[in-house]
Amino acid sequence: MRSYKQALNLFVRYLREVQCLPIKQIEFKTINREVVLGFLDWLEQERRCSASTRNHRLMVLRAFFAYAGALDCTQVALHLEVSKVPVKKEAGKVVEFLTESALEALLAQPNPKNRIALRNRLFMLLMYDTAARCGELLNMRIRDLRLDTKHPIAYLHGKGNKTRTVPLLEKTVAHCKKYLQRFHPGVPANSDAYVFYTTIHGTHQPMSADTPADFMEQYCVSARQTCPEMPEHVHPHMLRHTRAMHLYRQGMPMVLLSEYLGHASVHTTKIYAYADTEMKRAAIKKANPGVDVPLPIWEGDEEMILELSGLL
């Protein structure tokens, strides 16, 4: 919602400052395809926005004008006009993840004797073990942890209210039990209480996304002193990427990995295969400076690509 609001505010700012339109003159009839294209160019040239940010702002405008068209049929033409504004091709982005050494160094930073550090360590362990999104862990309730069963599992409630079941390692289960005894003593296993919380004015409140982002960055700084493989910055979602990459490299089939991550399509999961290929390419190039790494034989050959795809 904040991002949506920011995009619309930027559009109004562009109309005021660049198009020199007073607020009272900003109406639907003053907006057209050329104005939207000018706004997108302004984002890139003046505000140095990336292609992905540019495309996001465009999606917001499309959604807004679609909403306006649904309320007022006279605005349907504007919606159709803006919907034809093309998105910009984004440069491929390699997935950020931690090596096994960096992961080990990061998880070793919290002092288990410290109460808050105990919570932080479990959050990172659970996020890695389940490959959960940060929001999925923040919204996890005690009843979502099934620890005293033959095969311990956790329920994750993801995007679109979809729930998926993920297995838990024995070590993670032991850490969970220790944490629950410390932070939720006497609370029944079917409780709706949040697993991770902060105490404000004596009451438990759901932990915000800023909290894990802050403590992980602090642990990253301290871990870098002993682990040169530690990246400059670490964020919670990187643990999800790390788990996915480790599982992919261990041979988990792409379809199963897609279900494990809760992706709506297996095509989303293929980014990990792409990232792994690019890392191998970079490693070969680094080991052989001055030697060009050969591209796949189908690179640039559209007929061969079609044939390999079964379209010829």
Instruction: Answer whether 91's CB lies under 8 Å from 98's CB.
Output: no
Instruction: Answer whether 252's CB lies under 8 Å from 243's CB.
Output: no
Neighbour tally for 176: CB within 10 Å: 21
Three-state DSSP class for residue 133:
coil
* CA separation, residue 215 to residues 97, 209, 211, 231, 234 (Å): 18, 11, 6, 15, 10
Please state, in angstroms and rounded to a whole number, the distance separating the CA atoms of residues 270 and 274.
6
| pLDDT score for 171 | 93
| pLDDT score for 285 | 61
On the CB side of 15, how many CA atoms lie within 13 Å of its CA?
Answer: 21
Instruction: Answer whether 159's CB lies under 8 Å from 130's CB.
Output: no
CA end-to-end distance (rounded Å), the chain: 45
Instruction: Answer whether 271's CB lies under 8 Å from 94's CB.
Output: no
Please state, in angstroms and rounded to a whole number, the distance separating the CA atoms of residues 67 and 76.
9
Q: Which of 193, 217, 222, 197 is nearest to 207 (CA)?
A: 197
* CA separation, residue 184 to residues 62, 138, 178, 189, 191 (Å): 46, 16, 10, 10, 10
Domains and CATH numbers, the chain: 2-83 (no CATH), 100-260 (1.10.443.10)
Residues 6 or more apart from 261 whose CB is under 8 A from it? 131, 240, 244, 269
* CA separation, residue 193 to residues 76, 138, 142, 218, 271 (Å): 46, 11, 6, 28, 35
Mean pLDDT per 10-residue segment, the chain (312 residues): 89 92 88 93 90 91 93 90 85 75 95 92 95 92 94 88 90 95 94 93 89 95 93 91 86 80 72 61 58 60 60 52
